[in-house]
Amino acid sequence: MSYAFEIAKTISIGSFLSYGLACLFSTHMVVEFERFGLSGYRRLTGAFEVAGALGLVVGTLFPSVLVAASGGLSLLMAIGVGVRFYAGDSFPQSLPALLFLGLNTFILNEALKAI
């Protein structure tokens, strides 16, 4: 795998692990999910993000897990982009979700090439 792939994977692991834990334990995230009207999905979203990050780690040894984790995180971010636009967030506010969608789609594409 390329350096770009490894860097993308490392960024994604760190980001989703920290953001997922914040979803599970941060009061700021309670407010954010209330703003979206999705309070009941905060813990589930956090669990998916932590699981996706751990899946990227495990995927180093098991390529099928890497495909599933990066695909799941891509789907999660596609939904996140939709939620942000639906909530009326501006493009700059939505940009992180778009970037992580692209990042995980890149990881997925590279993982599929390796199988």
Q: What pLDDT does 2 receive?
A: 92
Instruction: Return the biggest CA–CA distance within the chain.
Output: 41
Distance separating alpha carbons of residues 53 and 57, to the nearest angstrom: 7
Distance separating alpha carbons of residues 93 and 73, to the nearest angstrom: 19
Please determine, for residue 114, whether its predicted confidence score (pLDDT) is greater than 90: no
Q: Are 109 and 2 in contact (CB under 8 A)?
A: no
pLDDT, mean of residues 104-115: 95
Provide the whole-model pTM.
0.94
